[in-house]
A and B are shown apart, each in its own frame.
Chain A
Amino acid sequence: MNVEMTGLTRRFGRTMAVAGVDLHAGPGVFGLLGPNGAGKTSLLRMMATAIPPTSGTLRLLGHDPGSYGPRREIRRRLGYLPQNLGYYPGFTLAESVEYFALLKEVPAARIPAAVAAAVERVALGGRAKTKLRALSGGMLRRAGIAQAIVNEPELLLLDEPTAGLDPEQRVAFRALLRDLGQRATVVVSTHLVEDVGAACTRVGLMDQGRIVFHGTPEDLAARGEGYGSGDAPLERGYSAVLAGARS
């Protein structure tokens, strides 16, 4: 298992953002759905080792991120795209990706090829020398994905990766997700159920800090049969599960 968590919680003051999540995931694309404030981003940040859990156990890529050495090993093999993607506007796209490749300890000799490959995979090869401040919002999102995959991560965490992408790019991105999911565990947090339907092999639905559903996209769609709210089967399933969890 690349991701193993048991009874994982995260508290911010009086707010319980993640309230006892159990999750195990191996290679494949795992979609994390949920309304705003469900705890998706907090869960992803814990998996990204950005914040420690308040309680529970977490093992990533076979290591305990609570200790420095194993955490460093996890980070070498981790890719992370935060929801609020920051960037250095003066860097070119290639420099930015190279910078994070260096921080991720990609062997120096491999960096030029890794940077070129990552930039190509997000279809920004022609913009490698463009400064980030000159890129559009969608291009910046793709630049963020490029930095996340530059180290060929075994665990890739993407928080709202398709926000700001045009339909054509979203289609291309889903293809990229499927490809990455062949070898790595990809966890995608999103509001867009069509992304889940098109790219994810498994899906989890979070509400109020808990996972209230897990299964395949087909299972989720099946939950919505006969439920009136929503235009598509997955949306109906999403709404039905949330309504059930809250009732």
Chain B
Amino acid sequence: MAYGIEVEGLVRVFKDIRAVDGIDLVVAEGEIYGFLGPNGAGKSTTVHVLTTLLPPTDGTARVAGFDVVSDGPKVRAAIGAALQEAALDPLLSGREHLRLQTALHGITKHERKQRSDDLLERVGLTAAADRKVRTYSGGMKRRLDLALALVHGPRILFLDEPTTGLDPQSRSALWAEVGRLAQEDGVTVFLTTQYLEEADVLADRVGIIDHGRIVAEGTPAALKAEIAHPTVEAIPADPEQRPKLARILEQFGELTQVSPKSLAVRLSGDDFGLADVVRALDAAEVHVEHLQLHAPSLDDVFLAKTGRTLEGAGSEQPEIADVT
């Protein structure tokens, strides 16, 4: 199998912070690889190293068959990147951005216009092409960002939190385009995200990173199956029965709180199911107004591997304000 990205023992240190602390991963050609982790986990730093914007402190990485340290220009010719900031010039129009980008990539004058028009149509910006970027919405900026990353027809695309701050509609549109790129054009996509749903929906395989290390890797289904056990969530009809509800649920596994009103238990083992919980609640005459069974999520995977949820984990990591 040909690999789009191969990383071995990658380390990147900033002063005394090991932002990337020895990661190994491979991404096959044409695969969408989701790199999931909380803020400060090392996702963007990894992307900066793989896109040759930062040299690694240790370890090796090959992208499109080229070493990121010794073959930087060849790597850059083979990749496109839409980084965490949209990185656009507010004074230029969308079309002018494409004109600049195509010129910098050495695309011939004849081809430049056609390529620009095609990309603008593809990302749905034809009507807004001649407006200055400062008038664009967040979603439009992200789409332009994607178009700019595709200008030279790269084989590998790096997307660093591409849908952060977007409304659901814009997010879905971007997902659709990324999926199309991989399926129809065979582009390898390395996508970093802190959104579980994004990784779940888009990625063929997911790597979960925490404190600079990969803590879990596999297809979303396989990772969730590892955890295997669902969660039962219940809201007591009478709030005063909450302690009694907690004592009953504790018999079936580890208690968690989903919301201020509800309690949940991650069922331990294969011996217990929803029916057992219902019978126990009946026997104890604890009435519930809501009872639900949740399948395992990637957040459950993260919790199982790290002891924290993804949402709570971000606030603990030291932020590296400037990866340069």
Chain B associates with chain A: no
**Chain A residues engaging chain B, CB cutoff 8 angstroms:** none
